[in-house]
Amino acid sequence: MILFSQNITKMKKSIVVYIHIIFWGLIIAYYLLFPLAFKYVTENLSSKEQSKVFAYSYFIFPLYFYIGYFGVMKLINRKGFLFWAISFVILSYLTLFFISKKAFAYGIAPLSSIFLWIIIGCLFRFFIDWFQKRNNILLLEKENAESKLALLRTQINPHFLFNTLHNIDTLIRDYPDKASISIIKLSDIMRYMLQDSKLEKVSIEKELEYIENYLSLERLRIKNEKFLNFTISGKYQGKQIASMLFIPFIENAFKHSVDSEIENGIVISFIFEKDILTFICENMFYELAVDNDKLHGIGLETVKKRLNILYPHKHKLNIVSNNSIFKVKLDLVLNDN
């Protein structure tokens, strides 16, 4: 099963076009200039001089490369640099030509390779700089996602907290045992959010326990037992996962779900099959209520960024909103390879 990350950094099309033009321009220039340079050298230099000139040409190729690598890329954006650089090369060769044919022959021997190796150095530096900038962008995105996650860890949905405390309060007199269990589950949720979730990865057992505690507290306010359909299937023991990946989807389902009197108003399932986890969260919702909610989707965007950073090419996220049904399906590769 091949899973692709949806977020791929792309190079600008114009840059790609320029690279193709430069590459083929160099190839054409090489095949045009080299025969002319070789012919001029053989006509004006002896065999011994030809051996010397071609020998020194090979030794100065690295010089051209590092001129392009260190110098040209820093200066190329300066106004008029290209004009003055070409002018300097032309004037240099004109000077050698007027000095003597032999001096010009010594100078023209490496001509076909000067621009080739300078451009190779430039392209080498360009790709190194491009990859460094790309990595810096990814690092900034990761830090941004982690900072948002840290903020989420320190915050508990106030509606969920108030509703839970209210529900526990109503249980204290008539069902003290249930109230006590609910308080323990609420404390476990807070402990997980503030402590365990700081780890890079947690066991799936802990993540599922956190979700089950959350759902059990949500059930306190739901009179209809058939409103929520929650299932876990397959073997997951011994596997690990990034913490709090699923709770934003689940919170979103409860926040925007319809009247709890219906059956299967929210359907949540975890399906484990070998190294693949399939998470499904589906709820019915009122479209008008979601449209009026300006904060809708902030937590979901954070999850998307985390998935792209933590599980590149190892996840497939599909979100569909149609006919008052909001469905999230996430396929996730759990191995650490």
Decide if pLDDT at 293 tops 60: no
Provide the pLDDT confidence category of residue 316 given band limits of 50, 70 and 90.
very high
Single-letter code of the amino acid located at 213: N
Phi/psi of residue 274, each to 5°? 60, -120
CB hemisphere CA count around 143 (13 angstroms): 6
pLDDT over 90 percentage in the chain: 14
**Residue corresponding to tokens 């319809």:** 258
Look over the chain and give the mean of its residue pLDDT values, rounded to a whole number: 75
Provide the pLDDT confidence category of residue 7 given band limits of 50, 70 and 90.
very low
More confident residue, 209 or 53: 209
Nearest to 148 by CA among 48, 263, 76, 248: 248
**pLDDT 10s digits, 188-232:** 888 887 777 667 788 999 999 999 988 988 888 787 888 999 999
Decide if pLDDT at 317 tops 90: yes
| Backbone φ/ψ region at 188: left (φ over 0), alpha (ψ -120 to 50), beta | alpha
Nearest to 269 by CA among 230, 239, 241, 234: 230
Taken in order 22, 28, 30, 36, is the CA torsion positive or negative? negative
Once rounded to an integer, what is the mean pLDDT over residues 5-33?
62
Domain residue ranges of the chain, discontinuous segments joined by +: 13-139, 155-333
Chain-centre distance of CA 102, in angstroms? 57
Provide the pLDDT confidence category of residue 182 given band limits of 50, 70 and 90.
confident
Spatial distance between the Cα atoms of 59 and 91, rounded to a whole number of angstroms: 24
Please tell me the pTM assigned to this model. Answer: 0.56
pLDDT of residue 333: 92
The architecture of the domain spanning 155-333 is 2-Layer Sandwich (3.30)
**Angle 307-309-313 from CA coordinates, rounded to 5°:** 70
Nearest to 150 by CA among 197, 97, 87, 98: 197
Q: Are 157 and 251 in contact (CB under 8 A)?
A: yes
190-224: b (≥16 Cβ within 10 Å) or e: eebbeebbeeeebbbebbebbbebbbebbbbebee
Single-letter code of the amino acid located at 309: I
As a whole number of Å, the CA-based R_g of the chain is 33
More confident residue, 148 or 217: 217
Burial class (CB in 10 A: 0-12, 13-18, 19+), 5: middle
Decide if pLDDT at 240 tops 80: yes
Residues 152, 179, 210, 143, Cα dihedral to 10°:
10
Taken in order 293, 294, 295, 297, is the CA torsion positive or negative? positive
Chain-centre distance of CA 205, in angstroms? 28
DSSP helix/strand/coil, 263: coil
